[in-house]
Structure 1
Amino acid sequence: MINPGIFLGIFVQLALLGTLDAVTGLGPLGWIAGAAYGVAVGGFLTYGLNRSTARSLGPADAVTLGRSGLVGCVTALVVDTAGRETVTMVVIASVALALDAVDGQVARRTGTASPLGARFDMEIDAYLILILSVVVAQSLGPWVLTIGAMRYVFVAASRLWPWLNSPLPPNMARKTVAAVQGIALVAVVSTILPLWAGFAVTLGALGLLTWSFGRDTWWLLERHAFAATPAEVA
């Protein structure tokens, strides 16, 4: 049975798409993409709730779910309008990025932080970066897709090397680098930067992301190697 909060999230997604349609004239492809995204998010959340100790979504999860609805609208615009609604896309993506700082604060202040909520938040961020990288790649080249794909390549690699799934220590630099990706991509999508500056900003963001993933992977590798080393016999 679908959780009422998740059902409400799907309804909000459809309502946001309806509003977007009234503003931009969203076509069938946009509706299909946005609605499919909303249903997929609902399905993954239902799966996550069934596997976790939580039985309902917390207040921070509600914020993330609302942010997810905005990301669904960005998806619809990317699929349907082929860049014709750049201003609308930039505004919606910017609000979604800004709200990323809200759900964490809500979780801490209400004492409702959970592994599911943290994972939900991370996956929404990763998907937004992926869809924005698709837009930027249209002007700067397919290499930009590396930014959006890196998280998913890491997840795929963890299937082969399970030690990559080990928990990482909290790190502000990691969070900052992730935030920079979204900000940089939105700035380039907005076309406020000349092409050469957009190229430089995007390349710099990719460099930071590569460094961040590389550092975390090295830390996990060292931890795995240490755990696999037999203890010395006294």
Structure 2
Amino acid sequence: MGTVLVVLAGGQLLAGVLVVLLASPASRLLALAAVLVALATWPVAASTLRPRAPGAVTAADALTLLRHLGAGALAAATVLVLGGELAARSWPLAALIATTLATDAMDGPVARRTGSAGPIGARIGMEADAALVMVLSVLAATVVGPWALAIGLMRYAFVAATRVRPALREPLSFNQFRRLVGGGQGVALLSALVPAVPVPAAAAVVALALALLVVSFGRDVIRLERAQRSAPR
């Protein structure tokens, strides 16, 4: 596990350097910030992998870590976009986002085929998705408006709410609507960053995705609160 995390950190730093080189010229300070920010999702990967110890990292976990690698490169690109050194809407950036999102469709089937599916792997994948969506929401916010940040912050707001509402800490049963809405957030944010998509149309897609996300989280909160009230004391 330690070796895998070291390789991930090195890969994210290298990805940050490559993004800076491709977007050059950029100021040294901005370039340094971009490279360091490429490590932004590394703590998430390290914390979610910890329950695997002392066992080995699975093949499905390795695929999930590719999502962290892509998120690192996109985080570096985000710094350059915010610094005015890189366009948020470009085909190379859109291709990188699409490739990173595609790994979400790979780790689940691999985990099931190798018999390594379970709550730990699900948590690793969920947190990788949340970190990636957070990065994408910052990028999309530069195109459609700061309100797009709500998509990335929603998951972390829910986690914060569990600190004060014990009912929200209970596990949720599988729900297809939640799965589809969650999986669609990345695609919706990608639409805002594809040059061929008109900005008004992209804003409408992102707004619809946000509305569905609010509905999904709202349903889960209501369900968990009702379950606590009806549970025997």
TMscore range, shorter length: 0.7 to 0.9
d(CA) in 1 for partners of 2:70, 2:226: 39
Of the candidates 56, 75, 84, which is equivalent to residue 87 of structure 2?
Answer: 84
Which residue in the other structure is 2:226 paired with?
222
Which residue in the other structure is 1:55 paired with?
55
Output the amino acid matched with 1:37: A
What is the aligned residue count? 224
User: Displacement, 1:168?
Assistant: 0.8
Of the candidates 138, 163, 167, which is equivalent to residue 163 of structure 1?
Answer: 167
1:10 touches 1:38 (CA, 8 Å); kept in 2?
no
Distance verdict in 2 for CA 1:22–1:137, change over 3 Å: closer
Gaps of 5+ in 1: none
TM-score under structure 2 length normalisation: 0.87
TM-score under structure 1 length normalisation: 0.86
Output the amino acid matched with 2:70: L
Of the candidates 34, 37, 41, which is equivalent to residue 40 of structure 2?
Answer: 37
d(CA) in 1 for partners of 2:168, 2:98: 31
d(CA) in 2 for partners of 1:175, 1:78: 27
Which residue in the other structure is 2:111 paired with?
107
User: Displacement, 1:53?
Assistant: 6.1
User: Displacement, 1:9?
Assistant: 2.0
d(CA) in 1 for partners of 2:198, 2:81: 23
d(CA) in 2 for partners of 1:108, 1:158: 30
Runs of 4+ in 1 over 4 A off after TM superposition: 51-54
Distance verdict in 2 for CA 1:206–1:75, change over 3 Å: same
Which residue in the other structure is 1:73 paired with?
73
1:127-206 counterparts in 2 under 5 A?
Answer: 127-206=131-210
d(CA) in 2 for partners of 1:10, 1:138: 27
Output the amino acid matched with 1:44: S
d(CA) in 2 for partners of 1:11, 1:38: 13
Query: Over residues 116-158 of structure 1, what are the superposed CA-to-partner deviations in whole Å (9 max), with x where a residue is unaligned?
Result: 2211211111122112111222232222211111111100000
Q: 3-state DSSP class of the match of 1:84?
A: coil
Q: 3-state DSSP class of the match of 1:60?
A: helix
d(CA) in 1 for partners of 2:112, 2:156: 28
Output the amino acid matched with 1:56: A
1:7 touches 1:42 (CA, 8 Å); kept in 2?
no
2:13 touches 2:36 (CA, 8 Å); kept in 1?
no
Output the amino acid matched with 1:3: G
Output the amino acid matched with 2:69: G
Residue 122 in 1 paired to residue 126 in 2?
Answer: yes
Query: Over residues 13-65 of structure 1, what are the superposed CA-to-partner deviations in whole Å (9 max), with x where a residue is unaligned?
Result: 2333344344334722211111x3254245424xx52x456522111000011
d(CA) in 2 for partners of 1:24, 1:188: 20
Gaps of 5+ in 2: none
Identity of aligned residues (%): 35
Output the amino acid matched with 2:169: N
